[in-house]
Copies of this chain bind each other. A is one copy, B any other.
Amino acid sequence: MKTLKRIIENNDTKRGRIFDLAIQSLIILSLVTFSIETLPDLSESTRRWLRYIEIATVGIFTIEYILRIIVADRKLGFIFSFYGLVDLLSILPFYIASGVDLRSVRVFRLLRLFRALKIVRYNKAIRRFHRALLIAREELILYLLVMLMLLYFAAVGIYYCEHEAQPKEFASVFHSLWWAVATLSTVGYGDVYPVTTGGRIFTFVMLLIGLGVISVPAGIIASAFSKAREMDD
């Protein structure tokens, strides 16, 4: 029992590492098969194979889930922990025969991969990430608020500049918001863009501000990391 607990919960033994690696590989396999399932024009035999793999992985995940409950010191604590809920979420949809298509829930198996990071040598890096986030939390929230206001302001501005010239692309403030998101993030798909002189000048001003604003988080994070690293020493 104690050996089993050690294999499942830790990875400081060889068998523990093998167990972890096997589960991680299964998760990635199940994500790959999930992705393949979405491909159009799959042959009947491929579909059947994907189904078999899904049944097998869910079976193993179920056994793993039950084992994890058994070896846990505080069983309820594990069930309602983050990982406990994620583990449950990744097998439950399979057992519930509902009208709703729950296949998409499988994507949350992704979250199980985070367990891969419990390796000791990453602990320090994770802790530093965490500390940097804590240090910069207020700044990042402030930044987010200013960014959201800027986006809304840009959307309203471009709406008044371009609405008449392009009544379809800039049909409302909501449509303009899409332009604001695509532009201030510098993605620039090119599906909507200003064509009037006024709209282009407005875009220019917004980008001058926006590019300055977009470089702020890099600055905040860099400074928070330096601080977190110092506290580390």
A185 near B207 with CB under 8 A, answer: yes
CB A9 to nearest CB in B, in angstroms, measures 21
Candidate in A34, A121, A189, A224 with the most chain B CB atoms within 10 angstroms:
A189
CB A162 to nearest CB in B, in angstroms, measures 12
CA distance A34 to B35 in the complex (A): 39
Q: Is A198 at the interface (CB under 8 A from chain B)?
A: no
B211 near A217 with CB under 8 A, answer: yes
Q: Which of B172, B185, B189 contacts A39 (CB 8 A)?
A: B172
CA distance A189 to B190 in the complex (A): 4
Chain B residues in 8 Å Cβ range of A38: 159, 163, 172-174
CA distance A140 to B213 in the complex (A): 12
Q: Is A66 at the interface (CB under 8 A from chain B)?
A: no
Assign chain A's interface to a size class: 35 or more
Q: Is A68 at the interface (CB under 8 A from chain B)?
A: no
A188 near B193 with CB under 8 A, answer: no
> Known contacts being A122-B142, A142-B117, A149-B113, is A221 close to B215, with CB within 8 Å?
yes
Q: Is A20 at the interface (CB under 8 A from chain B)?
A: no
CB A147 to nearest CB in B, in angstroms, measures 8
